Amino acid sequence: TMRAEGLDVIDLGGGDPDFITPQHVRDAAVAALHAGDTHYVASNGTPALRKAIAEKLHRDNDVAVDPMTEVIVTPGGKASLFQAMLTLVEPGVEVLIPEPAWVSYVPMVEVAGGRPVGVPLDPDDGFRIMADILEAHVTADTRILLINSPNNPTGRVLDQAELDAIAHVAQERDLLVFSDEMYEKILYDGHQHRAIASLPGMAERTLTFNGLSKAYAMTGWRLGYVAGPAPYIKQIAKVHSHSVTCATSFAQAGGVAALTGPQAFISEMVAAWDQRRRAVSEGINAIRGLRCPLAEGAFYAFVDARELGTGSVALADRLLREARVALVPGVAFGASGEGHLRLSFATGDDLLAESVKRIGDVLGHR
């Protein structure tokens, strides 16, 4: 609305990479179009893309799946999660969601008739997940534990101790794990992503959700997937086929090219984000009342503004009005996100520098 009024607003609220999909991926989709690949395809995805996904999971994540019975290609990662929720969450079922968490998880559970149970993580402990914290929220109605690493909004990457704790609780309490790994390729400072499905005893109780949006700058293509045990996939496939039929045919040709072609694009993109991550953190840390830990993964800074003593909604509103910078209030990601602001550094260097300057002009410097 402010932009429509001609006001110069810098939007750092989104989650869209500021890069264009690699040329060879675009070429593959265009070639598929010219070849007449404009019809329905197999509901669960083209065999070529499902095979490429299975090979990627084996190669990158040490997770073995059958491409024909344990993978569904969906129109975006969000659709894969939503379809799984609609399939596996029944009225009264509780889904544990460590918070801060992506804004869409809670509504998905609610639409499916379930009860989202937020598990507040401690910002002073780096939002780490501990077994006892999870255990304290498990009830007789808990069926699913949803995790997201690298995390949106915090930028945390789950370490081995946290993964072991999650696996222990899931096995002890017979929980199904939904693992959202959309940002797995976006890592900094030597941090490594490990798929929880690769841990002993976890493949049979984990659904892995991922997609091509973030790693290959393909947000508009709408290509995601869910992979896991055949009995679950068989049921999710029913919701998938009766709701979306299939993901776009020629987009899937691009998906094959992305997963099987050159991967250098990813490291080049991540290197650019790494520079911005450091510049933003340095700039924000010089502003009065703000603290900006370096993200371990993804492309968000989760700025700690608790020192200011202002609610995150009020602070975001003030910065929008006075600095003309749009940020996401931390409380949008759950109660433990209060006192924080999410800032996306997947935008141009000049815009980021100007944003930090504007915020500093409003709040003052240390």
Kindly report the CATH number assigned to the domain that includes residue 336: 3.90.1150.10
Range of the domain at 298: 10-20+264-363
Q: Helix, strand or coil for residue 183?
A: coil
pLDDT classification of 302: cutoffs 50, 70, 90: very high
At 3, is the pLDDT very low, low, confident or very high (cuts 50, 70, 90)? low
Do 102 and 14 have their domain in common?
no
Assess whether 238 and 345 both reside in one domain.
no
Going by C-alpha positions, the residue among 136, 143, 77 that lies closest to residue 116 is 143
pTM to 2 decimal places: 0.97
Q: How far is CA 96 from CA 117, 141, 178, 262, in A?
A: 5, 10, 10, 38
The tokens for 335 are: 């109660």
Query: Dmax of the chain from CA atoms?
Result: 61
71 vs 4: which has the higher pLDDT? 71
Per-residue model confidence (pLDDT) at position 93: 98
Are both 16 and 60 inside the same structural domain? Answer: no
End of a domain among 232, 260, 288?
260
* Contact (Cβ atoms closer than 8 angstroms) between residue 216 and residue 266: yes
Residue 240 maps to a domain: yes
Whether residues 185 and 159 share a domain: the answer is yes
Please report whether residue 250 resides in a domain: yes
Q: Is residue 27 part of a domain?
A: no
Within-domain flag for 319 = yes
